[in-house]
Every structure is written in structure tokens, then in C-alpha cells.
Homo-oligomer: A and B are copies of this chain.
Amino acid sequence: MEPSQIDTTLEEIRVALEAGLIQDAIDALTKLHPVDRASAFSDLNDTDQAVILPQLDIPATADLLEELEDEEAAAVANGLPTELLADILDEMEPDEAADVLGDLSPSRVAEALAEMEEAADVIPLLAHPDETAGGLMTTSYIAVRPEMTASQTIDFLRQVDPDEETPYYIYVVDLNNRLVGIIGMRELILAAPEDEVYKFMYREVVSATTTDDQEEVARLMARYDLASMPVVDEQDVIQGVITHDDVLDVLEDEATEDIYRLANVPDPDLSIFSPVGLSVRKRLPWLYISTLTALFASWVISIFEDLFQQVAVLAVFQSVVAGMGGTTATQSLAMIVRAIALGEISVKEAWEPLLKQALTGLIQGIAVGTVAGLGVYLWQGNPYLGLILGLALIGNMVIAVIVGTLIPLLLKAFNLDPALASAVLVTAVTDSAGFALFLSLASLFLPYLN
């Protein structure tokens, strides 16, 4: 649904609430898709939310908690009486219920679980850290034994009456609940009714372990186009299932994280809508680090301070060398960080791209250095000024592509996030090297610059 249509509904709801027509407001809200409903609800102010929330029935509140952002869902859950919260959590998908519980206080979690009927589905999920396959999976899946026939399996499915969110695969487990195979609904339909499951199940199941990193699992599912992946423990006992929508969420978050880190925003949960205080608190440390590197570059310039009294024009062009180094380095940085994120490169195979980048940097340095040097010569009338600018540009652009490629690879080799700190480190190098190169060359050619 277009944002504008949600806006129209929001307007309807506000008008209805102002006129005291609460039921009209509820009707307008519930005619939206649950995703849009959550989006509209979170756009309402606190007063309006407090009026609407108690009027929603249990399934509608469950839908709302499933679709709201984590923090907002926790706030809503915290405002509900324990008994009602337990009923709502029972109605939710186990993984979503676990997510909501994960954001509540331990005492509140204990109270809610004590009141819940389906606590047993949710408790195992609470044990797994958020960033693991275990934290991502749901326990709502269907498992059968290999000796069941196709028609018995279909009867079993009818009994279970799976809902829309249940994964499309049926998992086959032995007496110890160890995963031994998998069948699709399609194979089930196509099988002869009397065929046993083990005759038509796939035995080569790609599965994740509960402790696996969620990004690696998501990457794997994306690589092999898997719609869902079972999660097992160390003994191969099935624990849950990860579905394609989870993969999307993880990969989108990962992309956000990379974009943010390349831009020195350390927390992927930060957004332009975040409160100012939080925003400053998160961004400021990186700005201070950046200030330190800028002052370090200033110190490099200060070594050559006397030069400016003799040839003031050097102060005019020194930043071009530093800046162009930064721009070239950022190009290489973005490409290598993305290649690492998409699993296209390992540290061992890095030699070839590194050499290619160095060569690219050299050619680009010559291309930019020649044009900029010539331009500055024509502008300022001094060929030596053009020459040192050109040479400094060539040198700094080669340095730039090498550090831009190398720093993320080194961070990766030390198991650190290749996007984190890369931008700061790279800029520190290209700035300092740029100033040092340009001003050393200027010292060398000093007699010709006046």
C-alpha cells in the first residue's frame, strides 16, 4: 500500500477519535493490512494509541505486536495487564512472541510465561542470542516420521491445520527427533497415497546449527535460493525453522549496517527519526575520532608551516591532493567492503584485486594529475605549481586505492568488521599522505615557486 493511502486512513482515524467515534477509528484501522496497521498505529500520538489499544481484540493486538518495531512492541506490551499479554502472546508466532519477551524485564517475562498456554514453544527460543540462527528461527513447523505414508501425512496435516505462516516444507525426523529428510507440500501431493515418506523425501538437507551466525545463514539461504532452512542442535535434533522473510530482514539490516559504518554511523538502529539525544550520543564518538585524525593531518601540515609565509598559494591547493585521495580511496573501499559482504572474496585471494586497484589508482592518478596540474598551471601561471600538484595527486591516488582496499581486508583478516573504522582509517592516511606529499614536493621545488 502506498504511504499516501496509510496517510488517508490516519486522517480518518484522527477525525473519528476527535469526534469520539472510537469504533469508526478501529474500523478504519483494521481494514488495513496488518503491516500497514502497525505503521499507522505507530504514527498516532500516545493519547490516541492509549484510546485505541484496549478496544482491539486479542488477534488484532497480536498482529500489531508482530508488526511493530521491537521497541514500540515492548512499550505496548509493558502497558498491558499480564493476563491479557499472555493471551496475546499465545496468539502470536512463537518467534515473534519470543522477540517481544526478549525486550521485557525478567520479572515481567516470568509472569507472562506463567500465564501462557503455549509457553513451551516460546521458552526454547528465549535461550538463543538474537544474532544466531537460534534467535532467528521459529518453532512453528511440521515434523513427521519417515515410515508414515503420504495419506497419513495429509491426515496429520489436516489435524494440525497449519496457518499461513507455517513453512512450506515438512520435516522428517527419527525417534530421537533427529532430522533425516525433508518433503515439500508439492511432493506430498504428487506422491501415491500409500507411499511412505522415506521413499520420496530429500535426504540431503542443508541445515543450520542454533549457534550459527545469522548473517552466514542468511547468506547461505540467499546463495542457494532456499525458501526455508531447518535449524538443528549439535545432535542433529531439529529445533526450528528459518524462513525467507527472516533472510530478507537480516540481509537488509546487514546492508544498512555497511552503509552506516562506511559513513561513520556506528549503530544500525539509528535513523533520521531517532531522538536527538540518542543520535548525538551515538554519532559523537566517531566525530571525536575523526577530529583526532584531522588534527593529526594538521600536525603534518604544521611541519611545513614556514612554507606558507613564502608561498601562500600552497595553502590554496594542498586540500585538492588530500581530498582527491579521499574520493578515490572511498571508491575502492565501497567495492571491497561490498565484495566481502557478498562473500565474493576471501583474504587469501586478495592479491589480484589489490594489484588491479593499484594499477587503476596509477592510471586515475595520471589522468587526474595531468588535467588538474595543467589547469592550475594555466590558472596560476606557474608550471612548477602545476607539476607538484600533478605529481602529488598521482602519488596520493595510488596510496589511496591501496589503503582503501587493504584496510578492510586487514580488518577482515583479524575477524573485525571490514566496514567498521575503515572510513576513518583510510581518510586519516589519505589526508596525511596528501598533505605530506604535496608540501614535501613544494619544499623541494621552493626556488621555482616564487
* Interface, chain A (partner B; CB < 8 A): 3-4, 33, 35, 154, 157-158, 161-162, 166, 168, 184-186, 188-190, 222-225, 227, 244-245, 247-248, 251-252, 255-256, 258-260, 262-265, 270-276, 279-280, 283-284, 286-288, 290-291, 294-295, 297-298, 301-302, 305-309, 312-320, 322-324, 327-328, 330-339, 342-346, 352-353, 356-357, 359-360, 363-364, 367-368, 371-372, 375-376, 405, 423, 427, 431, 435
> Which residues on the B side are within 8 Å of A290 (C-beta)?
323-324, 327
> Which residues on the B side are within 8 Å of A405 (C-beta)?
272
**A302-B316, A314-B315 known; A287 vs B328 contact (CB < 8 Å):** yes
- Please give me the 3 A-B residue pairs with the lowest Cβ-Cβ distance, nearest first: A263-B334, A255-B255, A315-B315
Q: Are A271 and B344 closer than 8 Å at their CB atoms?
A: yes
Chain B residue at minimum C-beta to C-beta distance from A439 = B315
Q: Are A224 and B188 closer than 8 Å at their CB atoms?
A: no
Q: Are B320 and A319 closer than 8 Å at their CB atoms?
A: no
CA distance A315 to B4 in the complex (A): 51
Minimal beta-carbon separation of A413 from chain B (angstroms): 15
CA distance A224 to B249 in the complex (A): 12
Minimal beta-carbon separation of A148 from chain B (angstroms): 14
Which of B259, B330, B332, B345 lies in contact with A337, CB distance below 8 A? Answer: B259
CA distance A346 to B2 in the complex (A): 10
CA distance A322 to B337 in the complex (A): 26
> Which residues on the B side are within 8 Å of A332 (C-beta)?
272
**A252-B222, A315-B305 known; A334 vs B3 contact (CB < 8 Å):** no
Q: Are A294 and B323 closer than 8 Å at their CB atoms?
A: yes
> Which residues on the B side are within 8 Å of A431 (C-beta)?
319, 323
Q: Are B356 and A272 closer than 8 Å at their CB atoms?
A: yes
CA distance A323 to B301 in the complex (A): 14
Q: Are A301 and B316 closer than 8 Å at their CB atoms?
A: yes
Q: Show 24 residue pairs from A and B whose CB-CB distance is below 8 angstroms, ordered by the A residue.
A: A33-B224, A158-B189, A162-B186, A166-B186, A168-B168, A188-B189, A225-B245, A244-B248, A259-B259, A259-B337, A264-B331, A265-B331, A270-B335, A272-B339, A273-B344, A276-B363, A284-B368, A287-B331, A288-B371, A294-B323, A295-B320, A298-B316, A298-B319, A307-B312
Q: Are A353 and B224 closer than 8 Å at their CB atoms?
A: no
> Which residues on the B side are within 8 Å of A271 (C-beta)?
335, 338-339, 344
Minimal beta-carbon separation of A240 from chain B (angstroms): 17
Q: Are B353 and A272 closer than 8 Å at their CB atoms?
A: yes
> Which residues on the B side are within 8 Å of A168 (C-beta)?
168, 184-186, 227
Which of A252, A305, A307, A314 counts the most chain B CB atoms within 10 A? A252
Q: Are B295 and A305 closer than 8 Å at their CB atoms?
A: no
**A283-B360, A288-B371 known; A336 vs B272 contact (CB < 8 Å):** yes
**A227-B227, A335-B272 known; A190 vs B264 contact (CB < 8 Å):** no
> Which residues on the B side are within 8 Å of A315 (C-beta)?
301, 305, 308, 314-315, 318
Q: Are B185 and A161 closer than 8 Å at their CB atoms?
A: no
Q: Are A263 and B339 closer than 8 Å at their CB atoms?
A: no
Minimal beta-carbon separation of A142 from chain B (angstroms): 10
CA distance A252 to B306 in the complex (A): 51
> Which residues on the B side are within 8 Å of A307 (C-beta)?
312
Minimal beta-carbon separation of A152 from chain B (angstroms): 13
CA distance A371 to B405 in the complex (A): 32
Q: Are B339 and A319 closer than 8 Å at their CB atoms?
A: no
Q: Are A333 and B263 closer than 8 Å at their CB atoms?
A: yes
Minimal beta-carbon separation of A341 from chain B (angstroms): 9
> Which residues on the B side are within 8 Å of A286 (C-beta)?
327, 331
Chain B residue at minimum C-beta to C-beta distance from A263 = B334
CA distance A272 to B279 in the complex (A): 34
> Which residues on the B side are within 8 Å of A272 (C-beta)?
332, 335-336, 339, 345, 353, 356-357, 405
